Amino acid sequence: MFGIVLANMDELIEDERDRYRETYCGICHSLKERYGQMSRICVNYDMVLLALLRESLFEHGESVSSSRCMAHPSRKHRFARGKEIDYAADMSVAFAYHKCIDDWNDDGNKAAKACSSALKRSYSRVKGAHSAACSVLERELCEIRSAEQMLAAGEVCEDALPDDAMAEADKLAKRFGSALAVVFSDGCSQWSGELAAFGAELGRFIYFMDAALDRDEDAQSGSFNPFNTCGISAADADALLSNVLGRAVNVFERLPLEQDLNLMRSILYAGVWQRLRSKQASVEKGGE
């Protein structure tokens, strides 16, 4: 998920850029104050959308302060704090912890192993506060990991037609969608169905976007990649991504959102494509 759900800063006015950074810095401050300095390695811009969307919908209220920190030692910077920012910080810990475990299981990365050990206590606290979301996240990521290992080994879809293989891959995308559905809707009494539907489609998009970004590296390493396994062209992958994202956006636009609406639209309409478009442009330039 990390590095995909980002705002397109070029499309934002100055106040929106400030709001985006204040929310990000708020997540960072929340991590430090509630889980210690080490937990700040979990901070990422992807979780800003989670905080913005839930705050815009439920309007719990936020406060804005300013301070210096290790990242900004020379001048004070503004940061926002509130219930949904704290929740985004909690989910940052959960996703970072499981990413470290995945990296350790996939590559034997010793740094990832050390990171997961360092975050274990913090994750236990997060799971205690958000047991439903964390339990679903654990279950779905475990199922995805097991299925991908079988697919990479050719134990599934070995003689399948491309459409059949793609259907198997979509099952994995839907599993990540199931995890995000609970993350976006956890603890919500209102709009929980819409938030779950949005999270489900956004999760599918993120899974496939991650595959689109990694397809060359996965081809070289032999790691499972749905687009490589199924022989999906770059153009067809783009079409699939657009279709899935369109479903997420349709749900998003039905929500009664006002605060930070343009900022969130910047993320969903343009920001999520930035890395892929940059990579495609680099490939095209290299081929000239």
Give the domain CATH number at 221: 1.10.600.10
User: In this structure, is residue 253 part of a structural domain?
Assistant: yes
* Ranges in the chain, pLDDT < 50: 156-161
The pLDDT of residue 160 is 47
User: In this structure, is residue 118 part of a structural domain?
Assistant: yes
User: Can you give the residue range of the structural domain that contains 218?
Assistant: 9-277
The pLDDT of residue 230 is 79
What does the alpha-carbon distance between residue 131 and residue 206 come to, in Å, rounded to a whole number?
23
User: In this structure, is residue 162 part of a structural domain?
Assistant: yes
User: In this structure, is residue 133 part of a structural domain?
Assistant: yes
Q: What are the structure tokens assigned to 103, written together?
A: 């990296």
The pLDDT of residue 150 is 77
Digit-coded pLDDT (tens) for 76-100: 889 999 999 999 999 999 999 998 9
User: In this structure, is residue 282 part of a structural domain?
Assistant: no
CA nearest to 102, candidates 113, 88, 89: 113
The pLDDT of residue 163 is 62
User: In this structure, is residue 16 part of a structural domain?
Assistant: yes
CA nearest to 5, candidates 215, 248, 226: 248
User: In this structure, is residue 121 part of a structural domain?
Assistant: yes
Digit-coded pLDDT (tens) for 157-170: 444 445 666 787 88
User: In this structure, is residue 252 part of a structural domain?
Assistant: yes
Report in angstroms the alpha-carbon separations of 258 from 16, 18, 57, 77: 13, 17, 8, 26
The pLDDT of residue 77 is 87
What element of type H or E holds 65?
Answer: strand 62-67
The structural domain count of the chain equals: 1
Q: What are the structure tokens assigned to 143, written together?
A: 């199922």
